[in-house]
Structure 1
Amino acid sequence: MLKCWKDVPDYNLFVRDKWKSFQVDGWGEFVLKEKLKMIKVALKEWHSAHTQNLPSRIESLKD
């Protein structure tokens, strides 16, 4: 987790909802490992969606 993510509105809600939506069968450690892999992919997609055009947004705020 990046520290800056916790400042984004609905980050905690996103992670909680995604985590609960993953359905993995197996023994405990296997389920944990697979869910961590899936949350990693989901967070990468979420991060890229929330940082699109970040340089241009920064410039527009400076103006």
Structure 2
Amino acid sequence: MTLNPTDEKRPLSNYQAYMLRLWHEGDDLPWRASLQNPHTGEQQHFAALTHLFAYLEQQTRRDEG
């Protein structure tokens, strides 16, 4: 499959790829996360895993309209 440069900026409804990083800075602190889009380099940062999960849910939700 060949992509045009503009295709990389459009989200694909059936496929998404990210580099995921997880870390925590102490036993009593929540895990943190970042996602990086390997095609665009765009990064998203999350202060808690629940925020990461909500973001992924939103990104993969089917258009119901």
**TM surpasses 0.5:** no
Larger radius of gyration: 1
Which structure: greater helix fraction?
1
TM-score normalised by length of structure 1: 0.37
